[in-house]
Structures are given as structure tokens and as C-alpha cells.
């Protein structure tokens, strides 16, 4: 040791002492005497490897990528008689990542993982603890991003079931048997708080996975159930949508002749609804089925769109009605219909009608009015009522000739229909 210090003065005494201790540990564990490329008990029965996991945090959950990122402590337990060593006080020895590279450790990997890494600040977060009887504890701190197949048919009123799956890569069930070391108590979690989800349950499970070329493998599952918080989407999506729909109803109380006011209000609400739909779609994966939020947004968009169509109908029927009045002579000849329409887009029926001059009567223009045929029915007596049954077609023609009634009916029909839609929607999805 002193000769090494003499020829290498830059090497500190602490580093040499650590290296010397490591060499003594390797000699104590007789690492050079065995082939640790082979699993313990090679050629015999499968080696049991116990697993327990402590979940430190769920860092993120992405609906667009359909994955989650989790940081956890993964601990392995097995026995390797080749590492047994004599000890007078029966105390274990603890090592870091440097010794791990020289012995056999289970090759556990995460199924369906996209990315994973072992933390290395300030050193690799790896611990190896060897007991005198050959029992081994191998612990690593890992962050893994894994796939979660999510169903968004009820989004954002959905509940997602995700799982992190562990499996040996090289050793099938004939060589290595993975199991939860302490049963359901093998999975522990810290206090985890997520911004958009509430964790309803964490539980472990196990099963078998079959590969046609290599056989059956033991697989362990870390299952957790996530329920989405709805309040964020109520503030960002549902409440603005409701307000836009109710804002579109304001046009029913605006005079039907105020074309610029009603048209601009209708177009504004339609464009705002389009912006809300685009914003929600941009934050979601492009799935091929309809989501719950899509049903609500598009139904609300339909109500807003129908309010614009309603005014188009009112404006058209008003124009037709005033054209008929003009043709029947109820409007003066001097009335400039084109100029009136250019002002606000429709004809007016509130113009003072001046009396027309009387036409001279000529023999060719005089008409003889035949006497009305006498009816055999007796006249109605006092206190009786006359009931006239009006057909559907007549009702429609009556509304068309009185276009202001469309606004009156819309003030009731639109809110009632939207309220009924909301009751049905929330009863189904909540």
C-alpha cells in the first residue's frame, strides 16, 4: 500500500482503503471462485425470487400518449449459496453498484415500458445486502414510463385501470419463479397526490405470460385505479359551453328587425363553441369512438347553430309576409322596399299606410255581389262557443304569417330542450 502511495502521490489514502476493502469483500464472498453468469442452482428447480415494491410517486399521466410515469423502489429477494460467508455476529454486509456487476442478479424488466432509468445522483441508486446464509436483498430506485390502455368513452367522467407489469426477460418459469414476497403487503405507497386524478386503489396481482418461442413466464402486476377529478373540466369546458348556449338565446328577445345585432350574436357564439371544441380535441388522443365530452360539446353546438337557423327562418318569413302585404296593396306605392331592406335586411310592417285614392267606377269595373245563400243552420245562441279545428298545415301557415311567434315559442322550447338534455346526460355519465 505504501509503495502505491509513493509512486502515485495523487491517489488519496481514502480511495486506496476503499479499494482494499472491496477486494477483501470479494475474497470474503469468493466471487472469483464461481461462475456468476449462471443462475443459482442451475440445472435444478426454479429459483424463487421475491419482489416487493414501494411506489414513491406517479409523476405524470398523459392521455395523448396513453402512458404514465412512475418512480418506485424495486426490491428483489433470493438466496445464492455461493455468496454465503462465515460471520461471528451474523451481520449482513451492504454494497453499492460496483459489486452488483460481478454477481448474478435477476433480470427483471417492465413489460410495455417506453422508457426507464435507474437514478444516479449522486451515485447509482443501487443497494446490495448479503446475509451470511446467502440470502440477498437487491434494491434499485427506478423511474419508468409505461403504456396504459385507456378508455375515453366516458371522458372526463371516466375511471382508468392501469398496471405496471414485471417479468424476467431470459428465465422462464422452469428457471425463475417471481412472486410477491409478502402477498398483498408487498406493495406500499407513499402519500401520492395527483392534479387530475384520485387514486382509488393500489393492489398487486400475478399471472403467467406465454411466448410461442420461449414458453411460460411468471408475471407480476402493480394495478391501480384512477378516477378523474371533474371540477377542472367543469370550469374549463362545461360551464363556458353552458354560458355560450344561454347567450345564444338572448337573440330571441332582440327585435327581429335588428339584423346586425342578431346575426353578430349568433356568429360569435358559433365561433366560440368551435374554439372550445378545438381546444378539447387538441388535448386528447385521436380515438375512433365518441367521448362523453364530445356528445356534450356537439349537442351544445347544435343548440347554438339552431338559434342562428331560427333567426334565418324568422327573417325569411318576415320578408315573405311583408312582400305579400306589398303585393296586396296594404303598403303605399311610394314605399321603397329595396331601400328598407338595405337598412336592416328585412321588410317593415310598421309603416304608416296612407289611404289609396278611390278609383272611378265604370260599368266594366262594377261587380255585382250575389246574395249569400241562407244557411239552414240556426244562428248560435248566447252563451255558446264556436270551436274551429285547425289542421297542422293551417297552424304552420298561421305561424309563417305571424313570424314573431317563432321567437315567442323559441324562448320556451330551447331552454326546456337544453335542460332536458342536461338531465339525461348527467344521469347517464355521472
Does the pLDDT of residue 392 top 80, yes or no?
Answer: no
Place 317 in a pLDDT band, splitting at 50, 70 and 90.
confident
Residues 6+ apart with CB under 8 A from 404: 256, 314, 318
Place 10 in a pLDDT band, splitting at 50, 70 and 90.
low
The C-alpha cell at 12 is 488519496
The C-alpha cell at 403 is 313570424
pLDDT at 325: 76
Model confidence pLDDT, tens digit, residues 251-269: 999 888 888 999 999 999 9
Burial 372-386 (b: 16+ CB within 10 A, else e): eeeeeeeeeeeeeee
Does the pLDDT of residue 333 top 60, yes or no?
Answer: no
- pLDDT average, residue stretch 108-132: 94
Residue 49 pairs in a beta bridge with 178
More confident residue, 396 or 171: 171
Q: Using CA atoms, how far apart are residues 21 and 11, in angstroms rounded to an integer?
A: 16
Of 249, 247, 244, nearest to 274 (Cα)? 244
pLDDT at 14: 52
Place 328 in a pLDDT band, splitting at 50, 70 and 90.
confident
Cα within 13 Å of Cα(272), Cβ side: 18
Q: Please give the angle made by the CA atoms of 30, 34 and 37, to the nearest 5 degrees.
A: 130
Contacts 24+ apart (CB under 8 A), 411-416: 411/249, 411/252, 411/253, 414/249, 414/252, 414/303, 414/306, 414/307, 415/246, 415/249
Give the range with max mean pLDDT: 13-22, 50-59, 284-293: 50-59
Give the range with max mean pLDDT: 27-36, 223-232, 370-379: 223-232
Q: Using CA atoms, how far apart are residues 192 and 185, in angstroms rounded to an integer?
A: 18
The C-alpha cell at 149 is 390502455
Other CB atoms within 10 A of residue 226 CB: 21
- pLDDT average, residue stretch 314-325: 82
The C-alpha cell at 395 is 297552424
Q: Round the CA-based radius of gyration of the chain to a whole number and report it.
A: 42
DSSP secondary structure string, 317-367? HHHHHHHHHHHHT-S-TT--HHHHHHHHSS--S-SPPPPPPPPPP-TTT--
Query: Which pairing describes strands 135-147 and 113-118: parallel, antiparallel, or unpaired?
Result: antiparallel
Residue 294 has phi, psi (to 5 degrees) of -65, -40
pLDDT at 61: 93
Please give the share of the chain, as a percent, with pLDDT higher than 70: 77
pLDDT at 426: 96
The C-alpha cell at 366 is 262594377
Supply the mean pLDDT for the chain: 82
Does the pLDDT of residue 343 top 90, yes or no?
Answer: no
pLDDT at 355: 47
Does the pLDDT of residue 31 top 60, yes or no?
Answer: yes
Does the pLDDT of residue 12 top 90, yes or no?
Answer: no
pLDDT at 89: 83
Does the pLDDT of residue 75 top 50, yes or no?
Answer: yes
pLDDT at 106: 95
**Max Cα-Cα span within the chain:** 148
pLDDT at 400: 62
pLDDT at 336: 54
Please tell me the pTM assigned to this model.
Answer: 0.71
pLDDT at 347: 45
Q: Using CA atoms, how far apart are residues 252 and 262, in angstroms rounded to an integer?
A: 9
Model confidence pLDDT, tens digit, residues 357-391: 454 544 444 444 455 444 455 555 554 444 455 56
Model confidence pLDDT, tens digit, residues 150-184: 999 999 999 999 999 999 999 999 999 999 999 98
Q: Using CA atoms, how far apart are residues 61 and 71, in angstroms rounded to an integer?
A: 13
CA 116 to chain centre: 25
Of 389, 429, 405, nearest to 290 (Cα)? 429
Does the pLDDT of residue 420 top 50, yes or no?
Answer: yes
Contacts 24+ apart (CB under 8 A), 1-10: none
Please give the share of the chain, as a percent, with pLDDT higher than 90: 53
Amino acid at each position: 500500500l505504501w509503495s502505491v502511495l509513493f509512486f502515485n502521490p495523487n491517489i488519496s489514502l481514502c480511495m486506496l482503503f476503499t479499494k482494499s476493502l472491496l477486494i477483501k469483500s470479494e475474497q470474503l464472498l469468493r466471487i472469483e471462485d464461481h461462475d456468476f453468469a449462471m443462475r443459482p442452482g442451475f440445472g435444478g428447480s426454479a429459483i424463487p425470487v421475491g419482489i416487493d415494491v414501494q411506489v414513491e410517486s406517479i409523476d405524470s399521466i398523459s392521455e395523448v400518449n396513453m402512458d404514465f410515469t412512475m418512480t418506485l423502489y424495486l426490491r428483489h429477494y433470493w438466496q445464492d449459496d455461493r455468496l454465503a460467508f462465515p460471520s461471528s455476529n451474523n451481520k449482513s454486509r451492504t454494497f453499492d453498484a460496483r459489486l452488483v456487476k460481478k454477481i448474478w442478479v435477476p433480470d427483471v424488466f417492465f413489460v410495455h415500458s417506453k422508457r426507464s432509468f435507474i437514478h444516479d445522483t449522486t451515485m447509482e441508486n443501487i443497494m446490495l445486502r448479503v446475509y451470511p446464509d446467502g440470502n440477498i436483498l437487491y434494491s434499485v430506485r427506478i423511474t419508468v414510463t409505461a403504456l396504459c390502455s385507456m378508455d375515453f368513452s366516458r371522458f372526463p367522467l371516466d375511471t382508468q385501470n392501469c398496471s405496471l407489469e414485471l417479468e424476467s426477460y431470459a428465465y422462464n418459469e422452469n428457471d425463475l419463479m417471481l412472486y410477491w414476497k409478502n402477498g398483498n403487503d408487498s406493495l406500499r405507497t407513499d402519500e401520492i397526490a395527483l392534479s387530475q386524478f384520485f387514486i382509488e386503489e393500489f393492489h398487486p396481482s400475478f399471472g403467467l405470460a406465454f411466448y410461442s418461442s420461449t414458453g411460460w413466464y411468471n408475471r407480476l402486476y402493480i394495478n391501480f385505479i384512477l378516477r378523474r377529478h371533474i371540477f377542472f373540466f367543469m370550469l374549463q369546458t362545461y360551464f363556458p359551453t353552458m354560458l355560450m348556449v344561454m347567450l345564444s338565446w338572448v337573440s330571441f328577445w332582440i327585435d327581429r328587425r335588428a339584423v346586425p345585432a342578431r346575426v353578430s350574436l349568433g356568429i360569435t357564439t358559433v365561433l366560440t363553441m368551435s374554439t372550445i371544441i378545438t381546444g378539447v380535441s387538441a388535448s386528447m388522443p385521436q380515438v375512433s369512438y365518441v367521448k362523453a365530452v364530445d356528445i356534450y360539446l356537439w349537442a351544445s353546438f347544435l343548440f347554438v347553430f339552431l338559434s342562428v337557423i331560427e333567426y334565418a327562418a324568422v327573417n325569411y318569413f318576415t320578408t315573405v309576409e311583408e312582400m305579400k302585404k306589398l303585393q296586396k296593396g296594404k303598403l303605399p306605392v311610394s314605399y321603397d322596399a329595396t331601400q328598407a331592406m338595405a337598412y336592416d335586411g328585412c321588410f317593415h310592417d310598421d309603416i304608416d299606410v296612407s289611404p289609396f285614392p278611390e278609383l272611378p267606377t265604370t260599368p266594366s269595373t262594377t261587380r255585382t255581389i250575389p246574395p249569400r245563400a241562407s244557411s239552414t243552420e240556426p244562428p248560435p245562441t248566447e252563451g255558446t262557443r264556436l270551436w274551429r279545428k285547425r289542421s297542422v298545415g293551417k297552424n304552420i301557415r298561421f305561424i309563417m304569417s305571424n313570424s314573431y311567434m317563432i321567437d315567442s315559442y323559441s324562448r320556451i322550447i330551447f331552454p326546456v330542450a337544453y335542460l332536458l338534455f342536461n338531465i339525461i346526460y348527467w344521469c347517464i355519465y355521472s
